[in-house]
Amino acid sequence: MSNKGKKNKADLRKFYKEKRSSLEPNIKKEKDLEIQSRFLLTDEYRKCKGILVYIARDFEIDTSGIINAAFANKKTVAVPKVNDDYTLSFYKINSKDDLVIGKFSVCEPKDGLEKITDFDDFVCVTPSLCCDLNGYRLGFGKGCYDRFFAKFEGKKIALTYSDSIEVAIDTYENDIKVDAIVTDSFTKYICEDTILSKEDNYE
């Protein structure tokens, strides 16, 4: 459990990007598989009709196992496309053949696919560099997911590594909590009535 919560977002982002880049590929693969397995065991996944899920870049936690399981479980799979104003739109895919390389070298849905506008009974799987014990996540600085979360009423689940948990990170007014954090060691559900500060000692 890290206690670097007193650092600002820019410092934390730099720290965790460097930490990710130093992770051995075989260790990353093991951790990513464990995270995906833990996600697939959640009630949120088992009971939902569909998932909104990112396509991972090399330094992000892999989601291919989640996507393949969702296809096998006959759930709707929708992946994000980053718009010019850094908002997200989600499109239904039927296989990896529906993806192309888009902005920021991220795989995104090709043109002509069905846009998802009714998010009832969907779970959103979101990437993060780190999370804190209050349910706030540190992303990559574009604010895409926080903009989407402002209008999304479903469950929001962040994936991160167990050694990438802060007591509390600096937040802004538009930052939105996730409902749960899934790591390679544990799954943490966020209690609305429990708020930790950066000065709290967490053991």
The tens digit of pLDDT for each residue in 85-106 reads 999 999 999 999 999 998 777 8
What is the edge-to-edge ordering of all strands in the sheet holding 137-138? 137-138, 130-132, 165-166
What pLDDT score was predicted for residue 47?
97
What pLDDT score was predicted for residue 193?
52
51 SS3 class: strand
Give the confidence band of 141 by pLDDT, cuts at 50, 70, 90: confident
Query: Looking at the predicted structure, is the pLDDT value of residue 179 above 80?
Result: yes
Query: Looking at the predicted structure, is the pLDDT value of residue 197 above 70?
Result: no
- Fold of the 9-189 domain: Rossmann fold (3.40.50)
Amino acid letter at 59?
A: F
Q: Considering the chain, what percentage of its residues have pLDDT values greater than 90?
A: 79
Query: Looking at the predicted structure, is the pLDDT value of residue 156 above 70?
Result: yes
Residue extents of the structural domains in the chain: 9-189
136 SS3 class: coil
Distance (Å, rounded) from C-alpha 72 to C-alpha 112?
23
The answer to whether 30 touches 38, Cβ cutoff 8 Å, is: no
> Whole-structure pTM over 0.85, yes or no?
yes
The tens digit of pLDDT for each residue in 35-65 reads 999 999 999 999 999 999 999 999 999 999 9
Question: In DSSP terms, which residues pair with 202 in a beta bridge?
Answer: none
